[in-house]
Chain A
Amino acid sequence: MGEFQRHRTVWNQKRKEALTGWLFLLPELIGMLLFNAFALVFSLYLSFTEWDLISGLSGIRFIGLDNYMKMFQDSSIILALKNNLYYTVLTVPVSIAIALVMAVIIHTKVYWQGYFKVVFFIPYISSIIAIATVWSALLHPSLGPVNQFLRRLGIAELPTWLADPDTSLLSIAIISAWAGLGYIIIIYLAGLTNISDELYEAADIDGASELQKFFKITIPMLRPTTFFLFITMLIASFKVFDIIAFLTGGGPHNSSTVVVFRIYEEGFINYNMGYASAISWLLFAIISLITAVTWKFRKEDAA
């Protein structure tokens, strides 16, 4: 075989490998380009327009920044943002703290570890809609077991939970936190198995107490896990939709409306495609901001 021919074969092989490579990537790439990249750009374009969908493509009217101007004066959007923030504060830090303690207990301090892993995890894998149905019965203002129990305890002013604008979001947060706790525990348990036993043994020799070990070894060693949980849960809390759409529909009196619910209402109920797209970009901006800020913190942390 001559030098030229060998080159040719190598070149052919490389080309074949490249072709195969792209072929294997093709389906995933089409999906991502269509539903992520194109969809995002398309939604940016729509956010500068007014369009009711029914009038067809010719009905799209360019209106510049009007949607964004409207958005920042729209009291329902501001309320949705406030509610999202309130929901985040209620669910993320408390759940992380409780789950951390429980994970540490499950990791070393109990028998039947397998049982506990499964039990706390069951609500997480169950359909949130079925879970929400159960809780809406449990929290029924007059007949529900929760309030009947509180009545037995002699509490006169019973909360009406989902029916009360003051407590609707709190009730939703309790249900979500209850359903999501198992997920955090599982992630923490995975983190805990990565901590070397030697650290604890050394601390034992130095006569460290359980609490000292928890604060001086466990918490610092779990920092990357906590960081991961914090960022993903923060983002997830701004994407909350299912449980709110199902339980309260954003009510009563918009008390549990959130950003994604507003996108849903404007886009798929009122058919305001332009305005819904502008709110979509608000959501995208918030999530990008969270990612960017927490990422910067992590870098500083690592340095």
Chain B
Amino acid sequence: MIWIKNRLSKIITTVIMTALSVFFLIPLLWMTSAAFKFETDVMVFPIQWIPETINVVYNFKAVWMGSVPFYTFYLNSIKISLAVTLLTIAFSSMAAYSLTKLRFRGRDLVFILLLSYMIIPAQATLVPRFLLVRWFGLYDTHASLIMMDMFSIYFTFLLRQFMMGVNNDFIEAARIDGAGHFKIFWSIMLPLCKPILATVGIIKFIWSWNDYQNPLIFLISRELYTIPLGMALFRDDYTNNYAIMMMASLSAIVPLFIVFIALQKHVIKGIALGGVKG
């Protein structure tokens, strides 16, 4: 009897939660539906979830092949996010390797230093970073954004936590066989770290893809804009044309959805890891 009762209550909560989750998804469903509509139908109430007439080709063309085409933003975002992700992985894993597997004077001091830097919010150092970028002659370039974003104490710590768990026997054995640290790092440590590297890479990619603040400050040329800045352009160019704006939003989010749904285990694990280790 208790077994049946438990089952029943579980079914009921599942139904309630499903209703709640639909409610949660409504803004995104509305966006998708509006992206397919004629502008005149977007704000019709009650909402036509499945549009009677569709204008998807026109909306798509306006977004992707208009005066400032979306694919430029796409290519810019892909270029920057990929570069940032690869460089972050390289620098963070190198630092983490040094902090866990190499012994030298000053190492623990560096570690404490990095730890203390973590509380400096990037927003508080915007002005000097803006000046540095200008002095380096990198204002209004993609290099400025990559440079700003390719160092991450957070991921260094995450990787350090992981590498501390890697057994030193592998390294000792390789040492005896005469391998140098560069070789050990590249052909032993990195392959062992593959799962955490995948996690770090995906999260960093998503964050970089969604960044609005740095591009807003460091870029002025339209053709250099990333997707979030491009969204702001669309809003200014198509004020109150919601069908086109929703097509732009949909275009901005879809690649993230695909990446997330394909790799959700890595993403969720990475977020949870950061939270639990604190």
A positions within 8 Å CB-CB of B: 14, 17-18, 20-22, 24-25, 27-29, 31-32, 34-40, 42-43, 46, 53, 102, 105-106, 109-112, 115-123, 125-131, 133-135, 137-138, 140, 143-145, 148-149, 152, 178, 183, 186-187, 189-191, 194, 224-225, 228-229, 235, 239, 241-242, 245-246, 260, 263-264, 267-268, 273, 276-277, 280-281, 283-284, 287-288, 291
Contacts and interface: CB of A to CB of B under 8 A. Distances in A.
Given A17-B104, A235-B121, A32 B213 contact: no
B199 to A, nearest CB: 13
A119 B25 contact: yes
Contacts of A281: 124
A186 B47 contact: no
A194 B127 contact: no
Interface string B6-25: 00011101100110010011
Contacts of A128: 210, 212
B252 interface: yes
Contact of B30 (A134, A276, A280): A134
B142 to A, nearest CB: 17
Central interface residue in B9, B105, B130, B150, by most chain A CB within 10 Å: B130
Given A127-B253, A129-B231, A291-B119, A267 B130 contact: yes
B104 A18 contact: yes
A31 B91 contact: yes
Given A130-B249, A138-B30, A242-B213, 5 more contacts: A34-B132, A102-B17, A112-B14, A115-B21, A138-B27
B275 interface: yes
B276 A225 contact: yes
Contact of B260 (A125, A225, A288): A125
B36 interface: no
Contact of A186 (B148, B228, B268): B268
Given A17-B181, A127-B253, A288 B119 contact: yes
Contacts of A280: 123-127
A135 B132 CA distance: 36
B10 A187 contact: no
Interface string B102-135: 1111010010011001011101111111111000
Nearest to B114: A32
B245 A137 contact: yes
Contact of B43 (A35, A111, A144): A144
Central interface residue in B10, B34, B92, B127, by most chain A CB within 10 Å: B127
A46 B127 contact: yes
B188 interface: no
Nearest to B182: A20
A239 B121 contact: yes
B84 to A, nearest CB: 12
Given A190-B272, A239-B123, A134 B249 contact: yes
A24 B272 CA distance: 28
Nearest to B255: A127
A225 B274 CA distance: 11
Contacts of B125: 35-36, 39-40, 43, 280
A260 B94 contact: no
Contact of B102 (A24, A268, A276): A24
A24 B99 CA distance: 9
A146 to B, nearest CB: 10
B31 A134 contact: yes
Interface string B173-196: 000000011100100000000000
Contact of B212 (A24, A134, A245, A283): A245
A119 B275 contact: no
Given A21-B107, A43-B128, A134-B246, A118 B264 contact: yes
A260 B123 contact: yes
